[in-house]
Amino acid sequence: MKSTNFPIGIFDSGIGGTSIWKEITTLLPNEHTIYLSDSKNAPYGEKSKQEIIDLSVKNTEFLLAQNCKLIVVACNTATTNAIQYLREKYNVPFIGIEPAIKPASLKTKTNKIGILATKGTLNSALFEKTSSTINKQIIVKETIGTGLVELIEEGQINSDKMKSLLSLYINPLLNEGVDCLVLGCTHYPYLIPQIRELVGNKIEIIDSGQAVAKQTKVVLEKNLLLKTDTKKGKHQFYINKNKDVLAMMISEKSDFISIDEKEF
């Protein structure tokens, strides 16, 4: 029996899932969390489905060994390729993240939406299934964000290389007339200021972070796993590569945090 005081486990191929961790800890400030950043193996988006499943199993077992009461797969690529397998294999609730194309399909006025995501996400059967449920009149322009995750992992968020890659990927979408851009990778919310600079106020940028946090709360409540006391949560981060960029990304939330750089 899991205790309400046990931590929420969160994993991503790297540091991008901290964008989800921030939403979760903002909504649920009293929950303890353990975040696993598998940066040594990033990017997942270029790997086969089986490799993504194997890495997701490794990450899940690491978190379960530390008594996590629920696991958030804070990675679109791991969710779309591995969550079904994880749900069948482990007896713990899993929350996943998928590109928000459904909300975008309800917002678009031009009936054209753009999505920026990894190859692994866009090629997955789960993404295809979700895409098939949206209104057929809506055209979804898919773009693989090759190289973006690697640059973010290196902390090159404002570099010229980042700016030129973003122009290369997003300008064609603007020329096609999209009015919504879905960020289908948890690393990409860190690029919103740069994307905004590129697109001005012409398009809506949509990501799933807040929806994931809300869903985490709903599932904790449903399973009677919500922490009941009002003491602030503690947050443990594990990363299997240099921790400097991760530390920088979560620096504004530095209370009750510790970061451990180790092999796993």
Question: With contact defined as beta carbons under 8 Å apart, do 181 and 203 qualify?
Answer: yes
Q: How far is the CB of 189 from ligand DGL (least distance, A)?
A: 10
Rule CB under 6 A: is residue 25 a binding residue for ligand DGL? no
Give me the residue label for tokens 């696993």: 36
Point out which residues pair with 72 in neighbouring strands: 10, 95
Near ligand DGL by CB under 6 A: residue from 34, 42, 101, 225: 42
Residue whose structure tokens are 């294999």:
89
Q: Which of 24, 86, 185, 239 is catalytic?
A: 185
Residue 68 is a catalytic residue: no
- The piece of 38-46, 128-136, 158-166, 206-214 that touches ligand DGL (CB under 6 A) is 38-46
Give me the catalytic one of 52, 68, 73, 75: 75
- Least distance in angstroms from the C-beta of 149 to ligand DGL: 5
Please identify which residue in 7, 9, 45, 189 interacts with ligand DGL, judged by CB under 6 A. Answer: 45
Binding segment (CB under 6 A) for ligand DGL, from list 41-49, 156-164, 199-207, 242-250? 41-49
Long-range contacts of 98-101 (CB under 8 A, 24+ apart): 98/126, 98/127, 98/130, 98/184, 98/208, 99/127, 99/130, 99/182, 99/183, 99/184, 99/208, 100/182, 100/184, 100/206, 100/207, 100/208, 100/211, 101/130, 101/131, 101/134, 101/140, 101/182, 101/184
Each residue 73-92 as x (binds ligand DGL by CB under 6 A) or -, in order, gives --xxx---------------
Yes or no: say if 48 and 55 are a contact pair by the CB < 8 Å rule: no
Nearer to ligand DGL, 120 or 227 (CB): 120
Window 113-152: residues binding ligand DGL (CB under 6 A): 118, 121, 149
In the residue annotation, 75 being an active-site residue is answered as yes
Q: What is the nearest approach in angstroms of ligand DGL to the Cβ of residue 213?
A: 15
According to CB under 6 A, which residues from 175 to 234 bind ligand DGL?
185-187
Give the C-alpha separation, 89 to 85, whole Å.
Answer: 6
Side chain identity at 189, as an amino acid letter? P
Residue 141, token pair as written in the block? 């322009």
- Residue in the block written with tokens 């209370």: 255
User: Which residues make up the interface to ligand DGL (CB under 6 A)?
Assistant: 12-14, 16-17, 42-45, 75-77, 118, 121, 149, 185-187
